[in-house]
Amino acid sequence: MRRRLQALTARSWSPQAIADETGIPAPLISSLLGGTGSNLSPGQRLVVANAYDKMWDRDPPAGTREERETCELARSRAASRGWAPPQAWDDAQIDQPDGRPSPDWKPRRRNSRRSVDIVEDAQFVRDHGGYRDADINQVAMRLGVSRDQLDQAYCRARRYAGRNAVTDAEPEAEPG
């Protein structure tokens, strides 16, 4: 069950948001994530498995600033520990003691991404990911970045495009 909780955390689900969905106390979820918690009862294991099946492809609640901050904290915690997201796990592997995420999945090695890449990804999510009418917070969460990071990426990408437009507009030197 620990891997299921870790995978949800990689999708920005905080222990409190998971607790709200499962009814299992957030401190117990936190201790399980950290590897110090005791085992769950069979009933709790079933609750986590059922909740995971409903939550794995959903975004966590992010309507308030506090919720967005806890989402970002959960995502960064998971990233720093190299926890695989739900999409990296085969259902038959996630609960096996020797289970491994897909060999195609690798934790990000870079702590930062190029702004133009983030903006390109945001546009793709809007055009092809079912987020056409989503607000910037939802797009940022889908990309696994904070709203501030996405705002900054847009600003930097515009500056970069502006610099390239000036460079491209300069006339070429005429042959002498």
- Confirm whether 176 is domain-assigned: no
One domain for residues 67 and 13: yes
- Confirm whether 96 is domain-assigned: yes
One domain for residues 90 and 121: no
Amino acid at 156: R
Dihedral sign of CA atoms 37, 89, 115, 128 in order? negative
Cβ atoms of 106 and 38 within 8 Å: the answer is no
CA distance 170 to 139: 36
pLDDT of 29 reads 92
CA distance 66 to 161: 34
Phi, psi (degrees; rounded to nearest 5) at 40: -80, 155
One domain for residues 94 and 123: no
Residue 121 per-residue DSSP state = H
One domain for residues 23 and 96: yes
The token duo for 125 is: 């999510």
One domain for residues 91 and 17: yes
One domain for residues 62 and 95: yes
One domain for residues 3 and 70: yes
One domain for residues 116 and 132: yes
pLDDT by residue for the chain (176 residues), tens digit each?
889 999 999 999 999 999 999 999 999 998 888 776 667 888 988 999 999 999 999 999 988 989 988 988 898 888 888 899 999 999 889 989 899 998 888 765 555 677 788 888 888 888 887 888 888 888 888 888 888 888 888 888 888 777 766 555 555 544 44
Cβ atoms of 4 and 33 within 8 Å: the answer is no
- Confirm whether 137 is domain-assigned: yes
- Confirm whether 128 is domain-assigned: yes
- Of the candidates 84, 104, 124, which is a domain's last residue? 104
- Of the candidates 104, 123, 150, which is a domain's last residue? 104
DSSP string, 129-160: SS-TT--HHHHHHHHTS-HHHHHHHHHHHHHH
Using CA atoms, how far residue 148 sits from 42, 82, 176, in Å, is 41, 23, 50
Amino acid at 80: S
pLDDT of 176 reads 45
**What's the distance, CA 41 to chain centroid?**
29
Number of domains in the chain: 2
One domain for residues 25 and 80: yes
Residue 92 per-residue DSSP state = T
- Confirm whether 79 is domain-assigned: yes
- Confirm whether 153 is domain-assigned: yes
One domain for residues 89 and 38: yes
- Of the candidates 79, 104, 129, which is a domain's last residue? 104
Domain that holds residue 138: 111-170
One domain for residues 64 and 129: no
One domain for residues 117 and 161: yes
- Confirm whether 4 is domain-assigned: yes
DSSP string, 8-72: HHHTT--HHHHHHHH-S-HHHHHHHHTT-SPPPPHHHHHHHHHHHHHHTTSPPP-SSHHHHHHHH
CA distance 49 to 137: 28
